[in-house]
Amino acid sequence: MGSMNDRPAVVLLSGGLDSATALAIAKDRGYDAYALSFRYGQRHEIEIAAAERVAGALGVHRHVVADIDLRVFGGSALTSEVDVPHRGSLADLDEGIPVTYVPARNTVFLSFALAWAETLNSSDIFIGVNALDYSGYPDCRPEYIEAFRRMANLATKAGVEGRQSLTIHTPLISLTKAEIIRCGSALGVDYALTHSCYDPDSSGRPCQTCDSCLLRAKGFAEAGLVDPVLGDPPPGPPAVSSRPPAVSSGPPAVSSGTGEP
């Protein structure tokens, strides 16, 4: 069951920068957040501790960590012995989908979120996917989210009976990493609690050279802010604006026709 405000929403929470911001937005929009994280055999399992810190700091109704093991399939540098690529800069990024892509990961995660939403009598899922400053994963694109929404509304008892019309909220999908950081900062997200690195050392220190670390560093540098995890941004041109972006209460969300509350 939901809580007193009767606006439960499942929020996918990895412990990274984007998902922490998506959780803050869900809370700011008045949803009662049910955070869902996954221990899926990722080499950077330290992100689970970050998710727990973020959930505690922002306040959620319940935080569930689901155990699944995608290592049985492998196919990714995050779930196998394949090396995580390290680069000198984002200019060195390869074209195409990188080896850190985990096959069908967001489909698996959203399916779990859909199941939980149905038990909560909720029609709302938040996911922090981004299609601008990202690594090129196919399951972060708007057309993928829309396709999953259509499938989801055919897949559940609540949907077939007309009790659930799912909205997949993607408030970050068209924001740059700098805009995401400014938005989260304005909402009180403590990014010192988050973890982004794909290949941390044994003590959890970020490598600073994987794709995720480089994208995070770029975002903080362009936002004109100091990353509390990675430190000062490298020298470069000043950020265009330090104002947080407007995150509307309408789209981007993928729904069956109802606007975002």
pLDDT digits (tens, 9 = 90+) for 79-89: 999 999 998 88
CA distance readout (Å), 234 to 220, 231, 238, 249: 10, 9, 11, 34
What is the number of other CB atoms lying within 10 angstroms of the CB of residue 236?
10
Q: What is the pLDDT of residue 205?
A: 93
- Supply the pTM of this predicted model: 0.86
Q: What is the pLDDT of residue 232?
A: 62
pLDDT digits (tens, 9 = 90+) for 13-40: 999 999 999 999 999 999 999 999 999 9
Calpha distance 120→115 (Å, rounded): 9
**If you average pLDDT over every residue of the chain, what do you get?**
87
- Determine contact, residues 174/252, Cβ cutoff 8 Å: yes
What is the number of other CB atoms lying within 10 angstroms of the CB of residue 186?
14
Q: What is the pLDDT of residue 152?
A: 95
DSSP bridge pairs for 37: 65
Is pLDDT at 97 greater than 50 in this prediction? yes
pLDDT digits (tens, 9 = 90+) for 112-167: 999 999 999 999 999 999 988 666 788 999 999 999 999 999 999 999 998 889 99
Q: What is the pLDDT of residue 231?
A: 76
Non-local (6+) Cβ contacts of 147 within 8 A are none
Calpha distance 54→37 (Å, rounded): 11
